[in-house]
Each structure stands twice: as structure tokens, then as C-alpha cells.
Chain A
Amino acid sequence: MTTLPTSTEKKLGLAIDLDTCVGCHACVVSCKEWNTSNYGTPLSDEDAYGAEPHGTFLNRVHSFEAQPESGCSQTIHFPKSCLHCDDAPCVTVCPTGASYKRSEDGIVLVNEDDCMGCGLCAWACPYGARELDQLSGVMKKCTLCVDRIYNENIPEQDREPACVRSCPAGARHFGDFADPDSNVSKLVGERGGIDLMPEMGTKPVNKYLPPRLKDAPSEARLPETNKDAKGFLAWLDKALEAI
């Protein structure tokens, strides 16, 4: 059923550290690599080597610039994938029952055997987290690598989402938000983790750890260090002025 579970036993999701992300797009590539060859149909690309390549991705990294009232602007790399919302509007709009939220761990999934490709769930998602695959005609979204995290055929250290496993900076953390002592719950508590677009009322499970405010805001211009020349340069300066 596309009604939402009243509560989920676990709330598996990601805490994404915007202070740490370096914008390398490794998570984008590893997500595509894992998910094109595992759960469901492949993530297709069209015109991949042509003039207008486009394709399906479950995770994309945007880069923003925020300008404080004084001093330099800050560049923030911003990975974005499904937030596995508690009140997921994409699930309830689904007419065929393909979209569902799991009551055991809160992961939002698409059963591709039921999807008719109407695209209404992608319209309902405020975050742009769902993409209709143009070749297979079914809706694709982040599965939180459900086929890795419970997979006993792979080494234990690999049993986390591909994006988390591949992040060279450690900007993505995977865990259970229902457990107040989990790594992600602690991080969110310490760093004041936030929801994206709270005004949409979707109650996202994934949280973003906002960039720490700079204790000493950098200035736009470097201080002039060679104002008071000494020795030979001081003599040259004077001599040139005298001409």
C-alpha cells in the first residue's frame, strides 16, 4: 500500500557534513556504478559520448556560494539524494502501489514491477530526488543501497551505502536516526543538523550538518605586506621617486 507506516522501527539515513564535502563527485560515480548493476533496471545514459549527454543519477553534487554580511563568501559543495522522508509525499501519490516506505527501517523504495512511469512521485518530491529512467520507463531513486547494507556476501566494512563507502573526505555518515546513541544522532546533536525545506512538512530522515561559522571571517583583500620597504628596495623606491 502507498499509505505511510505510522512509525518505523529504525530510521536509516545519512548525515551529510557540508563542512567536510570537497565536491569531488566520487559519491556520484560510485552510486551510479553500484546502482546501475544491482537493484532494478540499469541507470541509463543517453548520448553518453555525444554533444548532449544526459542520464539517470540517484545522487548529484551541487555547489553553492553563500555571502556573509562582511568578508569573503563561502563555497559549499552540496550532495543531494533521497532524504527518505518520514512524511514522504512521493509515496502517498503513487497510484499503482510501486512506491513504499518500509516499516522496518524507513527506507523509501520503488517496486519497479508495479511502476507505470507516470512521474507523479517525482512531481511530489520537493527535492528533485526521483528521476524517471528514459530507457526503462520506471522511476529510479536512492535505495540507501539496501542491497549492500544487509548483504552478508560482501565484507562487513562494505555494508554501508556506496556513497558513504567511497567518500574520501568522510563527509557522509550512515546510521539509525531512531537510536539517540547512534553515530548520526550524535553528529546531528553536536552540529545542529538541519532539515532541507522544513516548510514542505516532509520530515526528512537525512540531515545536513551546516558549515560551521568562521570564528575569524576572512577579508576579501590580503593585507599589503610590502608597504614599508627596507634596505636596497627602500633606496630604490626613494631614488625612483626623486627622478
Chain B
Amino acid sequence: MHPAPSVILFTSLSGLGFGLLAWLGLGLPAVTGWVAFVFYFIGYALAAGGLMISAFHLANPKNAIKSFSQWRSSWLSREAVMAVISLLVIAVHAIGTIFFSTRLPAIGALGTILALGTVFTTSMIYTQLKSVPRWNTPLTPILFQLWSLGGGGLLAGQFTAAAVLLTILGAVQVIAWKQGDAKGATGQSTIETATGLGRIGKTRLLEPPHTGENYLLKEMAFTVGRKHALKLRIIALICAVVLPVALIVAFPATHALALPVIALHIVGLLAARWLFFAEAAHVQRLYYGM
């Protein structure tokens, strides 16, 4: 699949933002006043900023408001609705801690559930697609939650918990990569099932329908950079998991550590998210002999 920068940034940043807001809802850290303002500002900037970036990949953004209407059937619509509801509920909790030094634990907990629910709806947009076998697995929502809670934990300064979550994340990510590789690019589907010509024999594309490019090939037959997949996987794991966990274990309770650890994690996250799109193959490529 085409790794559009807007979608990579959107899923990465809003995942981090909602992860941070989920921690803040639980009172971790239990901050008030200006410090709380800074934490919430970062959370909202990432979560809401990510959502706004996502509008850049729309070809007809004037109808974006209508995406709140189909929550009964569409995960993308549910994501839009959930994002707005959770940002509103969390705002109540944020106002309490920032301006009144009062935490409303019930509202905070509800905000945490809604924030994680929003991340879940994001992950389901990809998980639901049978046409992209690498995404169509229960590991996709688990991974999105771990990225969100792990990265959000770093932002919230919950280093010990984050280190545990990141370790689990690393393991699940490796399992997901291996499982995706084992499935094969197009899963159960082959050029024979796509064309129904398997009854005659082995099938190959003799002539494509056109000599040029088209939307389908640009959007869903992305192959550039796959050859660097292994290197990128290693970079993603080292930056997002291994180095942050090692630094946290080596220098516990060092707040100066926050910035380099978070910066490293974001580099790893962006590499992993780029791979999430670039490595995923769509079954319609079979009609193009790919």
C-alpha cells in the first residue's frame, strides 16, 4: 500500500497523543496547574493535530464533515466520532486539574477508556480489510494499543510501565512481522483464484490492460523500498524499543532522559508505521501479475 506521509503521521501522532491522554486520565502523573496544562497541551496537539493532518489525504475535503454520519457501519466514521467524544470528555478532566487542582477520577477513567477506544477504531480501519492480508489479523489492534500506551507512557513520564509495555510491544511486533511474512503477500488469494483460470492450469499475466500507470497501481501496488524492509525493521526495533528500554533500565528515575528516549521512540515508530503501509500488499495486484 502507498505509504502516504499524511496517513503515517496521522496514525503515529494521534496514537501517541491519545496514549498520553489515556495515562493522564488515570492521574499518571497526578499533575495540576501549569504542569498539567503542558501535559494536556502536548496530548491535544498530537491527537487533534494528527486528526487534522489526516484531512490532507482527502481528495475532496469539503465533505469531511459527513464522515461523522456512518458510525453504524464504518470504522472510519466511528473513529471520527470517538475522537471528538473522547477529546470532549477528557477536556472536562483537564479543566478540573489545570484550573481547579481537582481531579475527577470517574471522568478521567472514562476519558482513558474513550482514548484507547479511539485508537482501537483507528486500528480497525486497517484490520477489517480482507483485501490486505497483512493487516487482517487480531495482532493489528493489539499492536496499535501497545504503540499508543507504550509511547504515551514515555510522554507521561511513566518510564517503568512504559519499559514493560515497550518490551511486550517489541515481541508482538516481531510476531506480527513473522506472521505477515508467513501469510505471503496476497494470503490465500492467487492469480488462479482471482481469475478463476486455475481449472485450466498455471496462470500468468500476458498483457496488462494499459501500458501506463493508474490510480490502482500507485495506491495499492507500492513496491519501492521493500528491499530495505529488514534494515528498517531493525532500525524500528532498536529505536522504538531496545534503546529506550535500555536507557530506562540503566538510568532509572532520570528526567533528563525523557527527551532523547521520546525522540528515539518516535523515529522507531515512524519507521515501523512506514513499514506497516509499505509492506502491506493488496490482493488486486494479482490482476496486474504482481
Residues of A that sit less than 8 Å from B by CB: 1-3, 18, 23, 28, 52-57, 60-69, 73-76, 78, 80, 89, 91-98, 113-120, 122-128, 131-134, 136-138, 194-201, 208, 210-211, 213
Contact = CB atoms under 8 A, between A and B. Distances in A.
A136 B197 CA distance: 36
B66 A122 contact: no
Of B201, B205, B219, chain A has the most CB atoms within 10 Å of the CB of B201
B193 interface: yes
Contact of B215 (A61, A66, A131): A131
A22 to B, nearest CB: 13
B69 A126 contact: no
Interface of chain B, main secondary structure: mixed
A212 to B, nearest CB: 10
A191 B59 CA distance: 42
B131 A123 contact: yes
B287 A80 contact: yes
B254 interface: no
Contacts of B250: none
B284 A97 contact: no
Contact of B63 (A78, A114, A210): A114
B77 A95 contact: yes
Contact of A196 (B63, B125, B196): B196
A137 B216 contact: no
Given A63-B205, A95-B77, A78 B195 contact: yes
Interface of chain A, main secondary structure: loop
B196 A57 contact: no
A117 B58 contact: yes
A125 B284 contact: yes
B16 interface: no
Nearest to B202: A67
B101 interface: no
A57 to B, nearest CB: 7
B205 A118 contact: no
Interface of B: 1, 57-64, 66-70, 72-77, 80, 125, 128-132, 188-189, 191, 193-197, 199-210, 212-216, 219-220, 282-284, 287-288
Contact of B200 (A53, A55, A211): A211
Contacts of A133: 59
20 contacts: A52-B212, A53-B212, A54-B214, A67-B203, A68-B201, A69-B201, A73-B201, A78-B195, A92-B74, A93-B73, A93-B76, A95-B70, A116-B67, A118-B67, A122-B220, A124-B128, A124-B131, A195-B196, A200-B283, A211-B197
Contacts of A65: 203-206
A138 B83 CA distance: 25
A125 B193 CA distance: 15
A98 to B, nearest CB: 8
B208 A62 contact: yes
A192 B125 CA distance: 36
A61 B131 contact: no
A138 B58 CA distance: 9
Contact of B73 (A3, A52, A98, A119): A3
Given A1-B72, A210-B196, A114 B204 contact: no
Given A80-B287, A97-B70, A131-B215, 9 more contacts: A1-B72, A65-B203, A67-B202, A95-B70, A126-B130, A128-B284, A137-B59, A196-B194, A196-B196
